[in-house]
Structure 1
Amino acid sequence: MPLLNIDNISIAFGAEKLLDGASFQLDPGERVCLIGRNGTGKTTLLRLLTGESLPDGGEIWRQPSLRVATLAQELPADTTATVFEVVAGGLEGLGALLAEYHEAAAQLAQDHAAEKMQHIERLQHELEARDGWRWQQRVETVLSRLQLPADTPLAELSGGWRRRVLLGRALVCEPDVLLLDEPTNHLDLETIQWLEEELLAFRGGLLFVTHDRALLKRLATRLLELDRGLLTSWPGDYANFLEKKAAWLETEARHNAKFDKRLAQEEVWIRQGIRARRTRNEGRVRALLALREERRERRERVGKASFELEQAETSGKLAIEAKKVSYAWRDEPLIRDFSVRIQRGDRIGLIGPNGCGKSTLLGLLLGRLTPNAGQVQTGTKLEIAYFDQLREQLDPEQTVLDSVAGGRETIEINGQRRHIISYLSDFLFTPQRVRSPIKSLSGGERNRLMLARLFSQPANLLVLDEPTNDLDLETLELLEELLLEFTGTLLLVSHDRAFLDNVVTSCLVFEGGGRIREYVGGYSDWLRQRPAPEAAVAAAKPKVEPKPAVPPLKLAPAGKLSFNERRELERLPARIEQLEQRQQDLHALTAAPAFYKQEPAVVARQLEELRALEAELETAYGRWEELEGRG
């Protein structure tokens, strides 16, 4: 029995139909990837399935009491809500109660006043009546699996960590149907791999939109394509889809050519004048009118994007050289004793978890930040074009045309002058769309606009910080081809594994404690070459990268370890392991439904032990990183 079914759905915005008689069903255990170009209506379809939007025609059927969870494409605005409150909010009707209880328990651990005791007892009774303890444990489990800091305000987290929080909110209610819109955007590689495993184990129905080909290939049991209002199902993997789709388009082109030839012949016949009118066949006339209507309603496939990069004069052979560079933020080393020599033509990928310092490293290499120690030398004749992952360079009130043209009517690309509207059409912006304000663009359209601006600048050093977010698969593959043809130097920050494999020649990998190591090849090559995990690895922690305007802090001078420090370093892994085991035990204890039914003094004592243990563990991590870095 299907979980949900749509039958002959249609919806239009203005004169354009985003869905035209679309039908499909989602069964339990299916993992369906919805693909299509940016702006074709994929997000609209997801909104129809959740009930946020209503179709113009057709029917949507859902199983009774169906639980549907979604992951929105856009990150939430800054909010004072804590991570626990946001995740628990995924439990409709119960989330607010759990958040209130979580806050009350934290207050009780600090203050045993009688009114606080009465308040928490009332909450306990209400949770028992609503089976709240099971869901309390579910929230704690999700927070633990995603390594989320429960009491941190969402506003203090980086974009990648906010994305994790939204994933937790979607997963916490154990949905029957999970709808994910670009789930890997802003996630680091470690979290993407965790997400893959979580979704592979999901037993409900999954419908997801993604540009991540590695995720698509591993997860999808079939593909659903939205193209010119038509929804078609393609069993098999992505490679099979590309082959079958190419054959389908070739057949469509032949059919259209035959149709157009027949229509042209009939148009000649109807215009033959007196002789034709004497022998006019009224049935043939009606058939011609029908042919005209069919041709009028035919939706032509939008042309492919066509990127061309304005290349600057060739730079010197040496692009950038860093020697023993170190940089710290709030006494925490982000980059330690880093050296690299980047030659003209190198294509280098930066790999590491969110907040590790990738954007900081770019700032140091480009001279936007000053290192605490060491030096950075740039080569001669460098012309830099920078792609900003947060799209801060776009003015939302400007039109697409003004954003690129700046008042000009023409633009010069590699010595050839082109009209600005013609240039923007290469990035799939129609003459009508180029006059739209940037604030009305989808995420994919904004990315294409950023690329249009970027490629209009002469450059021999291209810096791309997460350029693949929100791009459709076709545009993504075209961008790969362009970068492979680029003769200058490329610095690329990306969490797209296939993109890294296809584009870069080497990777700079953040390995913890400020250490960065270079590996030849792409992402898959790094996986084969990287060393085995060490006995103790610092736990992932949400971090906020430094702002360039804040003066950097100086690193303490590094020296050799003393005898006692070497002994301390040898013992720390075992101590960390003991602390982590006790931490796991306490987490399991506090997550149990019966935990808060104990005497308040016992509850407060165990919560205090957990907080003290976590502080000690963090201190041990920091000491281990410090000694390891000096050893």
Structure 2
Amino acid sequence: MPLIKFDELCVSFGTRTLLDHVNLQIEPGERVALVGLNGAGKSTLLKVVSGYQHPDAGQYWQDPAIRIAELPQMLPAADERRVEDVVMSGLAEVVRLRNEYEALANSHDQASLAQLETLQHELEARDGWHLEQRVETILNRLSLPGDKTMAELSGGWRRRAALGAALVQAPDLLLLDEPTNHLDIETIEWLEEQILAFRGGVLFISHDRALVDRLATRIIELDRGHLSSFPGNYSKYLEQKEAQLQEEERRNAEFDKKLAQEEKWIRQGIKARRTRNEGRVRALKKLREERGERRERQGAAQFNLEDASKSGKLVVELEHVSHAYEGQTIIQDLTLAIQRGDRVGLIGPNGAGKSTLLKILLGELQPDQGKVRLGTKLEVAYFDQLRGQLDPEKTIIDNVSGGRESITINGRDRHIISYLQDFLFSPERARTPVKALSGGECNRVMLARLFSQPANMLVLDEPTNDLDMETLELLEEILLSYEGTLLLVSHDRRFLDNVVTSTLAFEGEGRVSEYVGGYQDWLRQRRVAATASVKPAGSEASEAARQAKADKPKAGRKLSYKLQRELDALPAQMEEAEALLEALQAETSAADFYSQDHAHVTERLEALSAQELKLEALMERWVELEEMQAGS
């Protein structure tokens, strides 16, 4: 039995149709990613499921016994509530029943006894007598500090508390709306593990392609009011979507050709009109109506960078730079040189000091120790994740062009309305105050403002938050063709992999290390470095460390017979594991997979997760042994 079902469901706002006779069914155990352009109606669809939005037409059905929980897009307030109380707030109705029962417990009149019996049945049905144990279980599972206040926690830990409030309800369906916004990479990966371990259904919106690729068992796309379903993860969706768009273009071309022929026929002379077929005239009228109802696919944003003269070859150089904030060292003895054309990514936990390092690199902040040398002819354009450069009371036009009717891009004047249409703002929307915009629209305004400035050095601080995937991919293409220097702070792993040429990683205790490549390259190089550094000192090492040292050959020595045999066998084992994983992926991506018995579906999904972990472990062991052998 499905968890929820849409049947020809419609939702409109004014003259704009967001959901146009859509059908949807979500089965237990599915993890369904909802994708689409900004403003397509994704959040509205989630509101229908959660009950906050009623459809204008059609039917929404849900299992009568279903429990639906949400992880809101906004972080919980950093207030004085205890973390334990925040988690318990997910059981607010159960808490109310318990309080009501305890208030009546000492009453002996007949009406109170009858009410007590009713409350007791409700509490038993909701497992309300084990309220504290349920909360404690979630606190332990998520490693949450129950006695701390929310004001004491970082944004990532407040997100954990919000997830705890959702999971403590033991929901059948979990709703997530952009759950990774403002989270650092470590917390995003932790969140992925929690969702993978959750055995209920999941419906989520996310622009994080790496997260969607890992979590989704099915993609549903909302496009021009219509909902399409694509089995498999994000990579498979891209392949299927490309084929679908090509087929749509072919059908539209055939339709338009037929319409043009009929229009030509109807406009023929007197002789043709005397002999024309009335049925053919009615068919033409129907074709005209159908063409008028066809909603063209919303165009993707299209924009280019304003060119500036080249900077000097050296952009910035740091020599033995150290800096502390509120008594805590965040940068320790950093020596670094950035050359013209470098694309450098900065990664690390929230609060690690990425924005501080940016200010030092730009010359806006003097470090406590060390030297900073800036290059010549630098023209910097800065993207602020907090959108501090936008005036919320002013319109989009005023924020981008200062109210001027034209704007100069690469030496040519363009009307501001035309320029903003490249960023998907209609003439009416361009006159809207920024305070009325969505998060994605605000980011597009920031990009429109940023790309109108001549710059040979771009500094982007979390530019990907709230952007839809198509705009993200276009931004990637532009940055790859950009000939200036790029400094990028981002928690979007796929974006980093696709854009940057080197990575500065904040690794704790003030250590900032430089790695070649993007996020996956950093992971690989860090694993190799960690393997190479396992050399415990004899007098200080624990017994376990001594044993580990004995088991692993030192650099410069040949692998032992046992380890060499293990290395030789690993390629075949990995090939076998990959084949089994592909078979499981194909099985779980089948269109009718979730219509099978729930226990069987759960068992196969668990097998898929286990096989992924097995293959990853084999690959890590192969890399480890290869590095050992390379040292021989």
**Fold shared, TM-score > 0.5 on shorter chain:** yes
- Quote how far apart the aligned CAs of 1:152 are: 4.4
Partner of 2:594: none
1:419 to 404, 411, 415: 415
Tell me how far 1:534 sits from its aligned partner: 12
Which residue number corresponds to residue 26 of structure 1? 26
Indicate how the Cα distance of structure 1 residues 88 and 28 shifts in structure 2: closer, same or farther if over 3 A, else same: same
Matched, 1:66 2:61: no
Deviations 1:218-239 (A, max 9, x none): 1111111111111011112323
2:250 aligns to what SS in structure 1?
helix
Q: Distance in 1 between matches of 2:167 and 2:320?
A: 44
Contact conserved, 1:348 with 1:491, CA < 8 A, in 2?
yes
Q: What does 1:149-548 correspond to in 2, within 5 Å?
A: 149-155=145-151, 157-272=153-268, 274-530=270-526, 531-532=529-530
> Are the counterparts in 1 of residues 77 and 150 from structure 2 also a CA contact under 8 Å?
no
Between the aligned partners of 2:394 and 2:98, the Cα distance in structure 1 is 44
Corresponding residue SS for 1:93: helix
CA distance in 2, matches of 1:387, 1:156: 29
Find the residue that maps to 1:89 and give its secondary structure.
Answer: helix
Give the distance between the partners of 1:52 and 1:232, measured in 2 at CA: 23
CA shift, 1:499, in A, is 1.0
| Cα separation, 1, equivalents of 2:43 and 2:130 | 33
Identity %: 64
Displacement of 1:240 after TM fit?
2.4
Residue aligned with 2:297, SS: coil
Aligned AA for 2:220? L
Change (3 A) 1:132 1:368: farther
**RCO higher in 1 or 2 (8 Å CA, sep ≥ 6)?**
1
Deviation of 1:175 after TM superposition, in Å, equals 1.1
The correspondence of residues 586-597 of structure 1 with structure 2, limited to 5 A, is none
Q: Deviations over 1:264-321 (max 9, x none)?
A: 2323333335434422432222222211111111000112211201122111111111
**Inter-partner Cα distance in structure 1 for 2:133 and 2:182:** 27
Residue 497 of structure 1: CA displacement? 1.1
Letter in 2 for 1:418: R
Q: Distance in 1 between matches of 2:253 and 2:478?
A: 31
How far did 1:178 drift?
0.7
Contact 1:88 1:96 survives alignment (8 Å): no
1:160 and 1:449, CA in 2 relative to 1: closer, same or farther beyond 3 A?
farther
2:44 is matched with: 44
1:473 deviates by 1.2
- CA 1:55 to 1:285, structure 2 compared with 1: closer, same or farther past 3 Å? same
Q: Is the 8 A contact 1:85 1:96 kept in 2?
A: no
TM-score normalised by structure 2 residue count = 0.77
Q: Is the 8 A contact 2:215 2:233 kept in 1?
A: no
Do the aligned partners of residues 333 and 533 (structure 1) sit closer, same or farther apart at CA in structure 2, a change above 3 Å counting?
A: farther
Task: Name the SS for the 2:163 alignment partner.
Answer: helix
C-alpha distance in 2 between matches for 1:425 and 1:533:
52
Instruction: Verify the 8 A CA contact 1:9 1:20 in the aligned structure 2.
Output: yes
SS in structure 2 of the partner of residue 417 of structure 1: strand
Counterpart amino acid of 1:175?
A: P
Q: TM-score, normalised by structure 1?
A: 0.77
Tell me the equivalent position of 1:4: 4
CA distance in 1, matches of 2:137, 2:504: 34
Q: Which moved more, 1:481-490 or 1:390-399?
A: 390-399
Q: CA deviation at 1:133?
A: 6.7
Structure 1 Cα separation of the partners of residues 259 and 293 of structure 2: 14
Shift of 1:179: 0.9
* CA deviation after TM superposition for structure 1 residue 2, in Å: 0.8
Structure 1 CA distance, aligned partners of 2:98 and 2:336? 50
Query: Is the alpha carbon distance of 1:460 and 1:28 closer, same or farther for their aligned partners in structure 2, counting shifts above 3 Å?
Result: same
Aligned-partner Cα distance in 1 for 2:94–2:373 = 57
Could you say if the C-alpha distance between residues 3 and 260 of structure 1 is closer, same or farther in structure 2, counting changes exceeding 3 Å? same
1:44-100: per-residue Cα shift (whole Å, max 9, x none)?
10000000100111111111231111122233556443433333212232467999x
Cα distance in 1 between the residues matched to 2:531 and 2:491: 20
CA distance in 2, matches of 1:420, 1:492: 28
What is the match of residue 81 of structure 2? 81
Q: Aligned equivalents of 2:164 and 2:423: distance in 1?
A: 35
Q: Deviations over 1:139-182 (max 9, x none)?
A: 34444454444444435544444333322322232211011111
**Amino acid in structure 1 at the alignment position of 2:420:** L
Q: Mean Cα displacement is larger for which, 269-278 or 488-497?
A: 269-278
| 8 Å Cα contact 1:326/1:337 also seen in 2 | yes
Q: Match for 2:457: what amino acid?
A: L
Q: What secondary structure does 2:427 align onto?
A: coil
- Cα distance change of structure 1 residues 175 and 514 upon mapping to structure 2, 3 Å threshold: same
Residue 399 of structure 1: how far off its partner (Å): 1.6
For residues 117-142 of structure 1, what are the alpha-carbon distances to aligned partners after superposition, in whole Å with 9 as ceiling and x for unaligned? xxxxxxxx9x9998557433333444
- Name the structure 2 match of 1:561: none
Instruction: Describe the superposition over 1:582-620 as per-residue Cα deviations: whole angstroms up to 9, x where unpaired.
Output: xxxxxxxxxxxxxxxxxxxxxxxxxxxxxxxxxxxxxxx
Bigger Cα displacement from structure 2, 361-370 vs 526-535: 526-535
For residue 59 of structure 2, give the secondary structure of its aligned residue in structure 1.
strand
Q: Quick one: which amino acid aligns to residue 532 of structure 1?
A: A
1:462-492 CA distances to partner (integer Å, 9 max, x unpaired)?
1111111111111111111111111111111
Q: Structure 2 matches for 1:546-625, cutoff 5 A?
A: none
Q: Residues 535 and 502 (structure 1 numbering): CA distance in 2 closer, same or farther, change over 3 Å? A: closer
CA contact (8 A) 2:98 2:123 kept: no
CA distance in 2, matches of 1:248, 1:324: 55
CA contact (8 A) 1:163 1:186 kept: no
For 2:91, the aligned partner's letter is L
Q: What is the RMSD of the two structures over their aligned residues, measured on CA atoms?
A: 3.0
Which amino acid is the alignment partner of residue 268 of structure 1?
A: K
Whole-angstrom CA distance in 1 between matches of 2:49 and 2:232: 24
User: Are 1:31 and 1:205, in contact at CA under 8 Å, matched by a contact in 2?
Assistant: yes
- Alpha-carbon separation, structure 2, partners of 1:145 and 1:460: 48
Q: 5+ unaligned residues in a row in structure 1: which ranges?
A: 100-124, 537-565, 575-631
More deviation in 141-150 or 239-248? 141-150
2:483 alignment partner, SS class: coil
Does the residue aligned with 1:91 lie in a helix, a strand or coil? helix
Structure 1 residues 334 and 98: alpha-carbon distance in aligned structure 2, compared to 1, 3 A threshold: farther
